[in-house]
């Protein structure tokens, strides 16, 4: 797109590098706030991007951004029903929850009724309020078009080569259409994802050595993947149909994700641990497609599901997907989360974390609109501290889950930690949707009951598995489950970690009402909040930035 060949202008207030949804949406919000924004992209839209499965916390952020800055499309893209009604042309997939199965080499997945190695956790009460998988080529393209419409000066095919910082501004240099350009900005935001533009320019040291998770990936998009309902028929009915979810297949070598879009395309990839890669021997050195097929051959049910699937683009392999820096913000610069750190797709944290960061930086620029028009130093310090702590926390939750994959009971128990943290955060945010919500810690950071748990869980799991994938004894596994259930109890508002549920968890408003005290409410207060908790607030009829924002940017007051 964007064949208009204008050169990049010479100065702006904010330069944003990278036009994934994070860069484009933040650029647009800053433009709404009256900032002069240039958005630079080295590629062109529409383009493939990975990272597709959204979550309730992501959608809450999207709704808040939509309501606060008058961006109706953000509000509409936050539920499956509104997306279909208003943007049917943007491809997406219905995501009702999180589905997990445990497969064993050379064995078909056994349908053992309620004793099957299967876990379903619903994230929404019904289809219309549910989350979506984002077909990123469409969604990112949409957000860049909307950024342009909001006044952002967008330049694609712009390869940046240099950033020079002074006390007053940042000088950027690069090439576009074979011509060199220079741009001076008061503030730069790195939204280049793993592109790592500012990391190189500022020589920011890697923080990878302080992280635990390591995984490789082999992935593509496919046509013709069979439904699990068809491959393993007759499983007991769950809270939603198994396939309309982020489907996770746990295997000895790691796990596979399978995300089905409404048009029948499936995004799928194997995440492989270093031990898993080593166990594949010479197969791991083969080309990506051979590796893919070798893995499918080991797991008959996955093989059946993909027997007639055709890749829609070449199957790709990356030997390590983690990256991590030691700083996320400083004088005149900030990074979006995906430029700062990435752990693993397990638990789909990326989109929600990125949207939360957009909210935080937007609030920082809002507060600066009447001042010197760059975020205050203390806000950037807070942002840096938040992203560092949150990246550590995501890493610990995911590393624990990889350890727990040794045995399905351990995995199902450990997953409750993630679900307790996010469901408590979701309910709290729905009940009190204040401005400061954006600064709430992600995955329990700042919460005395939740913050220490991932580290403690990882330590306990490693004692059981010996860090060698051992499954431990029955008593050890039961001991871990009981410990975790006790630890999450103060935040367990939805009846998680309940063996009577047989690993099938619906969205349970009755359990929520019973546990009203955990949310600091009386029973009748909680009952009054149920429409908000169900996400059934009346649809806003008028989208324009609310009074507080209009005052901050000088439109009122």
Ligand X SMILES: Cc1cc2nc3c(=O)[nH]c(=O)nc-3n(C[C@H](O)[C@H](O)[C@H](O)COP(=O)(O)OP(=O)(O)OC[C@H]3O[C@@H](n4cnc5c(N)ncnc54)[C@H](O)[C@@H]3O)c2cc1C
Q: Which residues bind ligand X (CB under 6 A)?
A: 17-23, 40-43, 49-53, 160, 191-193, 195, 197, 217, 321, 336, 338, 342, 345, 348-351, 354
Scanning 174-265, the segments in alpha helix (DSSP H) are: 197-201, 228-231
CA angle 346, 410, 306 (to 5 degrees): 50
- Least distance between ligand X and beta carbon 398 (Å): 12
Q: Measured between alpha carbons, how far apart are the two ends of the chain, in Å? A: 40
- Residue placing its CB nearer to ligand X in the complex, 132 or 481: 132
- Least distance between ligand X and beta carbon 388 (Å): 17
Kindly state the tokens that stand for 285.
């050195």
| CA–CA separation, 47 and 141 (whole Å) | 8
- Residue placing its CB nearer to ligand X in the complex, 61 or 503: 61
Q: For residues 322 and 342, is the Cβ–Cβ distance under 8 A?
A: yes
Q: For residues 522 and 516, is the Cβ–Cβ distance under 8 A?
A: yes
Kindly state the tokens that stand for 347.
């638990």
| CA–CA separation, 127 and 528 (whole Å) | 23
- Least distance between ligand X and beta carbon 142 (Å): 13
For β-strands 216-223 and 266-272, DSSP reports them as antiparallel
**Helix/strand/coil for 288:** helix
- Residue placing its CB nearer to ligand X in the complex, 42 or 515: 42
- Residue placing its CB nearer to ligand X in the complex, 15 or 374: 15
- Least distance between ligand X and beta carbon 20 (Å): 2
- Least distance between ligand X and beta carbon 536 (Å): 24
- Least distance between ligand X and beta carbon 356 (Å): 11
Tell me the residue nearest to ligand X as measured from the CB: 51
Residues 6+ apart with CB under 8 A from 391: 207, 211, 324, 337, 340, 341, 343
Kindly state the tokens that stand for 238.
């769950």
- Residue placing its CB nearer to ligand X in the complex, 43 or 498: 43
- Residue placing its CB nearer to ligand X in the complex, 123 or 336: 336
- Residue placing its CB nearer to ligand X in the complex, 143 or 480: 143
Q: For residues 79 and 95, is the Cβ–Cβ distance under 8 A?
A: no
- Least distance between ligand X and beta carbon 17 (Å): 5
What is the Cα gyration radius of the chain?
23
């Amino acid at each position: 797109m964007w064949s208009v060949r204008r050169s990049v202008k010479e100065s702006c207030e904010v330069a944003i590098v990278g036009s994934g949804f994070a860069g484009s949406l933040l650029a647009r919000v800053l433009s709404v706030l009256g900032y002069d924004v240039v958005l630079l992209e080295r590629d062109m839209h529409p383009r493939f991007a990975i990272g597709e499965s959204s979550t309730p916390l992501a959608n809450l952020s999207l709704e808040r951004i939509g309501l606060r800055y008058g961006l109706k499309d953000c509000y509409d893209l936050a539920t499956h029903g509104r997306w279909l009604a208003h943007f049917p042309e943007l491809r997406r997939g219905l995501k009702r929850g999180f589905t997990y199965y445990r497969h064993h080499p050379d064995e078909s997945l056994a349908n053992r009724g309620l004793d099957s190695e299967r876990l379903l956790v619903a994230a929404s009460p019904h289809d219309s309020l549910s989350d979506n998988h984002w077909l990123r080529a469409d969604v990112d393209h949409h957000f860049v078009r909307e950024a342009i419409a909001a006044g952002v000066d967008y330049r694609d095919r712009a390869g940046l080569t240099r950033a020079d910082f002074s006390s007053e501004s940042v000088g950027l240099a690069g090439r576009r259409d074979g011509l060199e350009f220079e741009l001076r900005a008061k503030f730069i935001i790195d939204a280049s994802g793993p592109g790592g533009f500012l990391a190189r320019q500022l020589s920011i040291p890697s923080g990878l050595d302080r992280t635990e998770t390591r995984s490789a990936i082999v992935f593509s998009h496919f046509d013709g993947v069979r439904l699990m309902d068809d491959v393993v028929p007759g499983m007991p009915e769950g809270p939603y149909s198994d396939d309309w979810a982020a489907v996770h297949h746990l295997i000895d070598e790691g796990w596979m994700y399978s995300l089905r879009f409404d048009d029948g395309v499936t995004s799928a990839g194997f995440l492989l641990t270093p031990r898993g890669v080593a166990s594949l021997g010479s197969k791991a050195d083969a080309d990506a497609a051979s590796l893919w097929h070798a893995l499918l051959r080991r797991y008959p049910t996955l093989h059946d599901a993909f027997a007639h699937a055709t890749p829609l683009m070449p199957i790709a392999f990356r030997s390590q997907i983690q990256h991590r820096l030691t700083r996320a913000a400083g004088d005149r610069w900030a990074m979006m989360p995906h430029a700062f750190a990435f752990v693993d797709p397990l638990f789909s944290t990326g989109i929600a974390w990125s949207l939360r960061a957009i909210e935080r930086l937007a609030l920082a620029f809002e507060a600066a609109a009447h001042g010197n028009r760059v975020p205050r130093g203390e806000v950037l310090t807070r942002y840096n501290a938040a992203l560092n702590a949150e990246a550590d926390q995501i890493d610990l939750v995911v590393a624990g889950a990889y350890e727990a994959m040794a045995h399905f009971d351990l995995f199902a128990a450990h997953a409750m930690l993630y679900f307790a943290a996010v469901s408590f955060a979701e309910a709290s945010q729905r009940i009190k949707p204040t401005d400061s919500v954006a600064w709430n810690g992600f995955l329990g950071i700042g919460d005395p009951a939740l913050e220490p748990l991932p580290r403690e869980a990882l330590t306990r799991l490693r004692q059981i598995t010996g860090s060698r994938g051992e499954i431990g004894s029955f008593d050890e596994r039961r001991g871990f489950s009981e410990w975790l259930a006790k630890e999450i109890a103060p935040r367990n508002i939805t009846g998680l970690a309940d063996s009577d549920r047989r690993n099938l968890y619906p969205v349970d408003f009755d359990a929520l009402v019973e546990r009203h005290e955990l949310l600091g409410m009386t029973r009748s207060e909680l009952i009054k909040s149920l429409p908000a908790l169900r996400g059934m607030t009346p649809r806003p009829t008028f989208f324009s930035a609310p009074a507080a924002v209009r005052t901050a940017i000088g439109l009122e007051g």
